[in-house]
């Protein structure tokens, strides 16, 4: 496959500046292109999209499912990293984010799932009207087009689904793969032998149990289905939709309007020059959980202390901008002749190894991985770490109650062939094959921040997730992860039939059980924990608290930035609480719902 943009009408800077826009969208990523497509369905509205990255249609590392991860660290990635993490031994972690049309939907691993009903209802319970499960389900379905697998595939690979919960005519193509890694056929039986049942409706409001993963892959072409191919390419010829790529927005233009600041347009840089462009109705920021708060701060919206240190005049005081950062915590091929054959097979028939994704999934409550006494100790520890009332923290604590936690997927396990751990480098050997069991903490108590260090938009923001640290109980996260690591090492990998293909554990190196005490696992997790790249919350919906300093937010339930007019944020950063799921499907639903609210306000003349 070769690079190409033949299906993307390229706009010049001059043509973009000459256009009179009703709406400007900052960021042509997962949510931004959803909003652009839906707004431009109305021919009376003119929509402009500014994307900092290039077009990458036809790039093999993005399009071919089995090459997932190869675009990370390339020019299609912002290549962010955290500040040194004190409780990870001073390590910095890479934070990949898509710098390409399609954003992170072009770089992710194509996992398509939803969180539990309780997760979205918690957003609503915080005072964000219209954001519960029942409210969001129509938008989940609107974004997706589910392809029914054949009966033999369903039977062999345990492919179950609730037909009524899935969309059939949305832009994003989703389906169960036709081929699986050799270990997948053992997954469900192994889980059943551990007392964990297969969830036959894992997209219907509960992700608990074991299931086979869906992927955002077009079964017709065998390629990744993402926001560029799903929402932009089919609508690229609309005369009222203009896209300007490789255009880095540096500031939102805010001007006084009846005593409030109103967004009038944006400033951006392209080809080494600076430009300004106006919007008569709204500016919509869809730059993601890292750069949406960065752009607000660069524009004068945020904590006065942070803005003043960066030399930026304060226009809207809001200490919540960039705070409330939550991320999933994760601990964690080369034979050229076989790779060439796999590529030939994919190019000729869209089959073979390059279609295979990690599909063996399980979500478990804490009660599966720790005793009642151990869970009670965690609850007691968390109860003492809430110095000021924060409704979000209250919900996190409520999730630990045995009556609630028993139905929530608090830890995710993924089993896949291959070495996923960046800290383990095996010696090449044709006689050895490796597998990895990933564990991912879904509701972390660790909370960090993302803030600017200067007023220069070319400088990367400071990302400080405070993994396993912070005043909110992050040390409890490490305690829970120790229990999860033990469950993976001593239960999952030692239960048949999966145990029948595992010779021994190589990382952490296996030793005698007497030596593998809590300090052994604590040290290993501190040295090897990484992120699962699911950051949320930095421009959170404020709900009942509004802009309140404790538990408050950055946007209201209609995603309008507090203290401003004509300015919204529509992306993962608006999520007030982390969810038990990979983010992709939820971000598409946020884009769909955000666009619907914008169109409703336009119709009402708001």
Annotated binding site, which residues? Answer: 100, 104, 249, 533-534
User: How big is the CA angle at 138 (ends 132 and 143), to the nearest 5 degrees?
Assistant: 120
Give CA–CA dist 341/344, Å, rounded. Answer: 5
Helices 117-125 and 133-143: angle between axes, nearest 10 degrees: 120
Annotated binding site for FAD: 100, 104, 249, 533-534
Calpha distance 143→591 (Å, rounded):
9
Tell me which of 188, 451, 534, 557 is the catalytic residue: 534
Are 589 and 285 in contact by the 8 Å Cβ rule? The answer is: no
Give the up-direction half-sphere exposure of residue 450: CA atoms within 13 A in the CB hemisphere.
Answer: 29
Catalytic residue check, 582: yes
Structure tokens belonging to residue 574: 């608006």
Phi and psi, residue 343, nearest 5°: -70, -40
Whether 38 and 595 have beta carbons less than 8 Å apart is answered as yes
User: What is Dmax (Cα atoms) for the chain?
Assistant: 73
The residues near 466 (Cβ < 8 Å, ≥ 6 apart) are 85, 87, 446, 447, 448, 449, 474
Helix then strand then coil, in percent of the chain rounded to 5, is 35, 20, 45
Q: Would residue 544 show up in a list of annotated catalytic residues for this protein? A: no
Helix (H, G, I), strand (E, B) or coil at 563: coil
C-alpha Rg value of the chain to the nearest Å:
23
Q: What is the dihedral of CA 9, 12, 18, 20, to 10 degrees?
A: 40
What's the first-to-final CA gap in the chain, in angstroms?
47
Tokens encoding 65: 């499912």
What string of DSSP letters covers 238-306?
Answer: -TTEEEE-S-EEEEEEEEEETTEEEEEEEEEEETTEEEEEEEEEEEEE--HHHHHHHHHHHTTEE-HHH
> What positions carry a catalytic annotation?
534, 582
């Amino acid at each position: 496959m070769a690079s190409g943009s033949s299906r993307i009408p390229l706009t010049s800077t001059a043509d973009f500046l000459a256009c009179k826009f009703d709406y400007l969208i900052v960021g042509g990523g997962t949510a931004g292109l959803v909003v652009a497509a839906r707004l431009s369905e109305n021919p009376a509205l003119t929509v402009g999209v500014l994307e900092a990255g290039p077009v990458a249609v036809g790039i093999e590392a993005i399009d071919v499912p089995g090459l997932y991860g190869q675009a990370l660290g390339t020019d299609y990635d912002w290549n962010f990293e955290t500040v040194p993490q004190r409780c990870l031994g001073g390590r910095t972690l890479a934070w990949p984010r898509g710098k390409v049309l399609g954003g992170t939907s072009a770089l992710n691993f194509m996992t398509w799932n939803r969180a539990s009903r309780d997760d979205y209802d918690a957003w609503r319970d915080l005072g964000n009207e219209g954001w519960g499960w029942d409210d969001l389900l129509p938008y989940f379905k609107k974004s997706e087009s589910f392809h029914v697998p054949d009966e033999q595939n369903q039977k062999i690979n345990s492919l179950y689904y609730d037909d009524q919960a899935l969309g059939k005519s949305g832009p994003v193509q989703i389906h169960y793969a036709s081929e699986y890694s050799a270990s997948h056929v053992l997954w469900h039986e192994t889980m059943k032998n551990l007392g964990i049942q297969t969830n036959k409706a894992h997209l219907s409001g509960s992700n608990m149990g074991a299931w086979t993963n869906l992927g955002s892959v077009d079964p017709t072409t065998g390629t990744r289905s993402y926001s560029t191919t799903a929402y932009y390419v089919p609508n690229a010829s609309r005369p009222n939709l203009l896209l300007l790529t490789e255009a880095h927005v540096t500031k939102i233009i805010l001007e006084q309007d009846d005593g409030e600041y109103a967004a009038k347009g944006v400033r951006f840089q392209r080809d080494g020059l600076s430009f300004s462009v106006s919007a008569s109705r709204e500016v919509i920021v869809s730059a993601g959980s890292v750069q949406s708060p960065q752009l607000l701060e660069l524009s004068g919206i945020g904590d006065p202390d942070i803005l003043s240190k960066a030399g930026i005049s304060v226009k809207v005081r809001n200490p919540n901008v960039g705070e409330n950062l939550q991320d999933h915590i994760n601990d964690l091929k080369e034979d050229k002749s076989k790779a060439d054959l796999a590529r030939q097979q994919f190019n000729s028939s869209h089959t073979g190894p390059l279609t295979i994704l990690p599909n063996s999934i399980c979500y478990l409550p804490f009660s599966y991985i720790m005793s009642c006494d151990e869970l009670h100790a965690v609850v007691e520890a968390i109860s003492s770490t809430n110095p000021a009332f924060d409704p979000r923290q209250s919900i996190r604590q409520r999730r630990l109650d045995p009556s609630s936690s028993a139905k929530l997927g608090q830890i995710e396990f993924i089993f896949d062939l291959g070495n996923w751990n960046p800290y383990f480098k095996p010696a090449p050997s044709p006689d050895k094959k490796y597998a990895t069991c990933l564990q991912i903490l879904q509701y972390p108590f660790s909370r960090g921040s993302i803030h600017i260090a200067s007023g220069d938009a070319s400088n990367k923001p400071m990302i400080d997730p405070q993994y396993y640290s912070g005043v909110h109980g992050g040390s409890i996260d490490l305690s829970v992860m120790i229990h999860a690591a033990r469950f993976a090492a001593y239960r999952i990998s030692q239960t048949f039939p999966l145990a029948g293909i595992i010779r021994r554990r190589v990382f952490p190196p296996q030793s005698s059980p007497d030596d593998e005490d809590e300090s052994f696992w604590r040290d290993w997790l501190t040295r090897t924990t990484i992120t699962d790249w699911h950051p949320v919350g930095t421009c959170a919906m404020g709900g009942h608290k509004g802009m309140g300093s404790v538990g408050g937010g950055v946007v209201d339930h209609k995603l309008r930035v507090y203290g401003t007019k004509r300015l919204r944020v529509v992306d993962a950063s608006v999520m007030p609480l982390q969810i038990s799921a990979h983010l992709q499907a939820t971000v598409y639903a946020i884009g769909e719902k955000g666009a619907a609210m914008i169109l409703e306000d336009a119709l009402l003349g708001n």
